[in-house]
Structure 1
Amino acid sequence: MSLNRRMKRILFSALNFFLPIILGLMLGYLLRILLDYYQYAQASSAPIAQPKQTPFDVSFSIRAIAMV
């Protein structure tokens, strides 16, 4: 079964239109998955930071308690 020239032209133009869109979406989805995995790996390996109280924080909390 051979397609005539017009049908081949229509099929190739449709392929040339949709293929980059599909490949771009697939690539974007793959990059999103890799980025999420990278952020998850960074977050799970990082030590939990303990907040340090500065003298300003201490004086601010004392003033806040004194206001109440």
Structure 2
Amino acid sequence: MANDHEQRLEQLEISLAHATHTIDELNQVVVGQGKQIDRLTRLVGNMTEQVDELMENVLPGHQGEKPPHY
């Protein structure tokens, strides 16, 4: 009976170690994706500003309005 409990405890410890490792790996992925999202958000913001500036230079007073069919 004691041997059965020891085996079950050992299996639980192994499972916990695997789960902890998986959680750590997933956390690294999430952190990396968060950094990438931040970088892409900054790039999109910069590009939006550039497009707005170009539109203002090409068509002064242009508000970037959508055509009536939208």
How many correspondences in the alignment? 47
What do you get for the CA RMSD once the two structures are aligned?
Answer: 2.1
Q: CA deviation at 1:10?
A: 1.0
After TM superposition, the score normalised by the length of structure 1 is: 0.56
Give the structure with higher Rg (CA): 1
* Counterpart residue number, 2:25: 21
TM-score (norm 2): 0.55
Q: What 5-or-longer segments of structure 1 have no aligned partner?
A: 51-68
Does residue 33 (structure 1) correspond to residue 37 (structure 2)? The answer is yes
State the partner residue of 1:42.
46
Tell me, which stretches of 5 or more residues in structure 2 are unaligned?
1-7, 58-70
Corresponding residue number in structure 1 for 2:68: none
Aligned residue number for residue 7 of structure 1: 11
Q: Which has the higher contact order (CA 8 A, sep 6+)?
A: 2
Shift of 1:45: 1.3
